[in-house]
A and B are shown apart, each in its own frame.
Chain A
Amino acid sequence: MARVELKSVRKSFGAVVAVQGADVVFEEGSFTTLLGPSGCGKTTILRMISGLETPTDGDILIGGKRINDVPIHKRNLGLVFQNYALFPHRTIGENIAFGLKYRDVAKADMARKVTEALDIVRLPGVEDRYPSQLSGGQQQRIALARAIVIEPDVLLLDEPLSALDANLREEMRVELKAIQDRIGVTSIFVTHDQSEALAMSDRIIVMSAGRIEQIGAPDEVYNRPVSEFVANFLGASNLLDAQVISRDREHVVLETAEFGRTPVPLSHAASLGDGPAAKLMIRAEKLTLAPVGQGGATAKVENVDYQGQLARYFLRVGDTPMQAMNMIDGKPFATGETVSLLLNPDACAALPPKTGAS
């Protein structure tokens, strides 16, 4: 277990800048998710921490020690690859014991540790099988067992759930988090699935095009995004052009063409600059439809996406397309209906106009 620190870490591959100036601290025992679209540099960060890539600039510290020049095999990290990377010519038992061979572990202890690791990932008794004889989900758990059996200082997980079907994925997500809680290892988890990130992490690092957009707890990045990019990437949201009308000690009042004046709590406007222009962010699920005449904005339902208990509405307020996600209470509103759109100002956020959405 150890704290991991990146200090102005930059990585470029020729002309491609994969990671630019990352400054992050991964606290001891924490579970941090790197979240971002494909190609934003998540894998590159993991590979630099594990030593498979060397940073172009900057320092990486594990447990307070700079490890830029420490060779891979001396770093004591557990890395779970996106495609599992189990050794096909070795049995499951040999796969898990692989890392133990290079540590001072007695033969007898080795067998015991392998059994324990298989118990932890709930796959007892498969020691003598070959990887090809296990299902994808089982192989993923073996890869995890192989990484944790060496008692690594840091556990690095590169989209380990991406190849699983939805059900197994959800199960494994719970299991993985439970395992991490039990062994308490500092974990860095890579995904581009927002619900995975929100469900599992102590902290989320949202990345875009090699840059870190925001670092924060799940509810923080979800409710108080600092940029349009984060707001759009996590969940469905509406972003409306707005003018800053006034500021006081608790609120910033924004004016939009659609909703008039909306007082946004200051804590939801942290990234807002001094200028007069802003964006008002409203989460789709915080926008409520009501029968016409109940105040708020008047909207026309253009399309309804029925999702069981939920309905997703595609609306138009004047010329502005908006979306809302509501629980279905009785009958959903129908396409073509005119409705009232109500918003709760406390659930809105004020963003600077166009930042970071590169």
Chain B
Amino acid sequence: MPAIPADRRPWILLTPALLFITALVVIPMAFILVYSFYENIDLAVDVPAFQFGNWQDLLSDSYYHTAIWKTLRLSVIVTVLAAVLGYIPAYVIAMTKYRHKWLLLLLLILPFWVSFIIRTLSWIHIFGNQGALNGLLNLLGLGDLEVQLMYTEFTVIVGFIHVFLPYMILNVYVSLEGIDPNLEPAARTLGATPWQAFREVTLPLSLPGLAAGSLLVFVLTGGSYVTPLILGGPSDFLFGNLVYDAVVTELNWPMGATLSFALLLLLGSVVILYSRFMGMDQLAKAFGR
């Protein structure tokens, strides 16, 4: 058997994954790119063409710009809230001396056993006019306030956090779990208060997990359309909803293709810029052996 040159071995190992990605991502996305140059002349009637009409619409129509802005803004809000709300349980799970830690981790995975749509819909029963919240207020004799929370940006944010928080918690947990448990005590004996020890040692060492979790939540939020569709009002649309509208409602596939590809470019560049500027390589150096 002829020996395989050492420098080719990684490529051989990567081949199945690359074939998969090419067949299921690159080729379909190439079709979508091509489709974005087609012309839509009537409902569901497209003519193959090579023209930039759809792209021009995207760049000139302020409706699309608003959607991009709304998407980025909401994604940032959801990411920041998820980071803050997710860090605390992750810290508790990582630091607890409770013997059945796996139970706590199981709790995190439990929600995935129920369909994401059903979990999202369940908020209607909580925030809706006849929902649990108003029911509770009624019981307390505050019924006439009739808090209207449903179909607002607030419910959309709650829905997103609800669905994406486990991703944040798991990522932060993994990096907290990898920190030497003696480091915080070491900082304490050197004179740091509990809070200083956390800020100077644990927090920076958990940043890789926090960064990974944040990126994941940001991208997942930025690409969503179901949550605003179910929980949002008419003005709470994201860029993903425009894609949905173009394809499903207006039956304008070329425009849908253009918007899809634009979303890919948008989120793709966020990912690239993010990993550049988060100084991942600096952290890698500190941990490198």
Which A residues have a C-beta under 8 Å from some C-beta of B?
A: 50-52, 71-73, 75-79, 81, 83, 85, 87-89, 98-99, 101-103, 130, 132, 146, 150
Contacts and interface: CB of A to CB of B under 8 A. Distances in A.
Nearest to A50: B189
A73 B204 CA distance: 20
Given A102-B196, A130-B285, A130-B286, A85 B182 contact: yes
Interface residues on B, range: 20 to 34
A79 B286 contact: no
Interface in B47-96: none
A85 B186 contact: yes
A99 B191 CA distance: 6
A150 B186 contact: no
B287 A88 contact: yes
Given A52-B189, A89-B205, A98-B192, 12 more contacts: A73-B196, A75-B189, A79-B185, A79-B186, A79-B189, A85-B182, A88-B205, A89-B286, A98-B187, A101-B191, A130-B285, A132-B287
Contacts of A73: 188-193, 196
B286 A88 contact: yes
Interface of B: 180, 182-183, 185-193, 196, 200-201, 204-205, 283, 285-289
Contacts of B288: 132
21 contacts: A51-B189, A73-B188, A73-B189, A73-B191, A73-B196, A79-B186, A81-B186, A83-B182, A85-B183, A85-B186, A87-B183, A87-B186, A88-B180, A89-B204, A98-B192, A99-B190, A101-B191, A130-B285, A132-B287, A146-B190, A150-B191
Q: Which 3 A-B pairs have the closest CB atoms?
A: A102-B191, A99-B190, A85-B182
Contacts of A89: 204-205, 283, 286-287
A84 B39 CA distance: 67
B180 A83 contact: yes
Contacts of B182: 81, 83, 85
Contacts of B286: 88-89, 130, 132
